[in-house]
Structure 1
Amino acid sequence: MEKFSVLMSVYAREQSTYLEEALRSVFEQTVPPSEVVLVKDGPLTTELETVIASFAERYKSLKIVALAKNMGLGNALNVGLSACTYRLVARMDSDDLSLPNRFETQLKAFEKDLEVSVVGGWISEFENNPKQIISYRKVPEFDCEIKHFFLSKCPVNHMTVMFRKEDILKVGGYQHFYLLEDYWLWTRMINEGCKFYNIQNILVNVRGGAAMAARRGGWKYVKSEIKLQWQIWKMGLIGVYAFSRNIFVRFSIHMMPSSLRCFFYKKVLR
């Protein structure tokens, strides 16, 4: 199968045990990556550094990119992307768990369709125990369905994707967009006519639940959502009705108390 890179980023506030589990799930694949590019987004804790050193000793394919200061996810991923050797790149978050056949399944999808730019898939979510799944996020399979889904919701699970590096760079790569770097990337790729595909199976087990929904609230997040919807409307990808509906729904949910937001976030925005 074709060689590929895995792109990850980690920063000081993340837990070392989560990073260890995430890295293990990346290396212990039915088709392991040709290289793993791990961006250290600013100075890290001793515990995180210990985990990274342990994996670097065991796996020579682990490439470390160290940033002098924290630059934020979008900027860190851009730096990491430039360090990726291969034309296919898989994204991986530093606290999630890839299923053992994830990369093999995605590589087969790229072999089957030479025109596809991004291959994602479904996620399962857990809070404390990876074996106790609390929810799923399933996204449409085919390009036309994905682009219709995009009119109201993010159509791709970022932590699951494998993509063609050249197509990402063609639209300007990752760009800073508060908590919405991925949604903004898919927007620009859809605007350029790139082709998407979502595997109709779970690829990644994600740490989600109430804590994730709680972070998706407050005025700063609402402003970011409004800014993104405004950009989508200006590009002509949605009409006035969809723009107004999306703003109303997002404003209402993101400004709710955390206890209510968790429920409506899963039911409406996921």
Structure 2
Amino acid sequence: MTDTRSPSAPSAGFSLLLPVYAGDDPRALRLAFESSVDRQTLRPAEAVIVQDGPVPDALAAELARIEGASPVPVRVVRLPENQGLTAALNRGLDEVAYPVVARMDADDVSAPERFARQWPLIDSGFDLVGTGMTEFETDPDQVVGRRIPPVGPDRIRAHARTHNPFNHPTMMYRVAALDRVGRYEPFGRMEDYWLGVRLIADGARVENLPEPLLRYRVGSGAFARRGGLAEARTEIRLQGELRRMGFISTGEYLRNVAMKGAYRLLPSGVKKVLFRRLIGGGLPGDR
């Protein structure tokens, strides 16, 4: 990749929130962090990294290196035990010093202009701004898929009735908007979908940029982790909550349960083809 880092890049009033756990690769973490800080044309004012439980020595060493080498202030919040992504993100929200947070995962890659494109929308009054993203397996420059989210509040709300309208790792949001809906809540691998729906239902101003401003790493087991009986049950429970809160009708609930529940039970290879050809951006993350 071309080194686009700019020592004199300006920063804006938002925090980068990046969770790390034992399964993350130190080399991927370095690339994720540098792409989201060193190489940004608009940098975060600080970075908060939540270490979710004990990590291997190599990963601990990389975290220590980042703390000492970052061009912006970095705080590593070390949790004594692994608590899962939902708890790690909520703890990070407790620790950030700025009212706006940009999400980042420890194995993805941000485009250099990502925050420069998102920040003006947040600064103009939006509560949440996501972006499109490309998918890669090992080489960020070898694109294997693309997720383009719906654009515009009406299309986002309509899309949310059947699929997650936001690509979670691309989100930039106001902490106060999350506080109003109770922040992240445990919901299997669908905590981000559940958060997005609650924000929309609460009247939050939301938007997506269609440009792929993040490169998302998909491993060989990504689609297998999105399937199985447990995931199908979580899907049905989520649809039940959407119906209960009046976000979808009974007819939409029945349709979603039939289609999405069946999708979760398909072989991973079939899910992969259907996801990329028919469903598109927005199933929950893989962690």
TM-score, normalised via structure 2 length: 0.90
Matched, 1:190 2:228: no
User: CA contact under 8 A between 2:223 and 2:269: conserved in structure 1?
Assistant: no
1:47-58 aligned within 5 A: 47-58=58-69
Unaligned runs of 5+ in 2: 1-10, 281-287
CA apart distance, 1:200: 2.1
Matched, 1:72 2:58: no
The answer for the alignment partner of 1:147 in structure 2 is 157
Bigger CA drift: 185-194 or 94-103? 185-194
User: CA contact under 8 A between 1:102 and 1:203: conserved in structure 2?
Assistant: yes
CA apart distance, 1:175: 1.2
User: Distance in 1 between the 2:168 and 2:277 partners?
Assistant: 19
SS in 1 for 2:221: helix
User: Distance in 2 between the 1:136 and 1:262 partners?
Assistant: 12
CA apart distance, 1:30: 0.4
User: CA contact under 8 A between 1:253 and 1:265: conserved in structure 2?
Assistant: no
Unaligned runs of 5+ in 1: none
The answer for the alignment partner of 1:83 in structure 2 is 95
CA apart distance, 1:210: 4.7
CA apart distance, 1:211: 2.8
Matched, 1:103 2:122: no
CA apart distance, 1:149: 0.8
Matched, 1:43 2:43: no
Amino acid at match of 2:44: P
Deviations 1:2-35 (Å, cap 9, x if unpaired)?
4110111111012111111111111121011111
User: CA contact under 8 A between 1:214 and 1:262: conserved in structure 2?
Assistant: no
Match of 1:255 among 265, 268, 273: 265
Q: Once superposed, what is the RMSD of the aligned Cα atoms?
A: 1.3
User: CA contact under 8 A between 2:48 and 2:92: conserved in structure 1?
Assistant: yes
CA apart distance, 1:209: 6.1
Matched, 1:62 2:74: yes
Amino acid at match of 2:228: G
Identity, in percent, stands at: 34
1:92-131 aligned within 5 A: 92-111=104-123, 113-114=124-125, 116-131=126-141
Deviations 1:212-260 (Å, cap 9, x if unpaired)?
2121011111111111111001000111121111111112111112221
Amino acid at match of 1:33: P
Deviations 1:169-202 (Å, cap 9, x if unpaired)?
1110111111111001011111211111101211
User: Distance in 2 between the 1:245 and 1:128 partners?
Assistant: 36
Q: Which runs of 4+ in 1 moved over 3 A?
A: none
CA apart distance, 1:109: 1.5
User: CA contact under 8 A between 1:119 and 1:197: conserved in structure 2?
Assistant: yes
TM-score, normalised via structure 1 length: 0.96
User: Distance in 1 between the 2:63 and 2:210 partners?
Assistant: 32
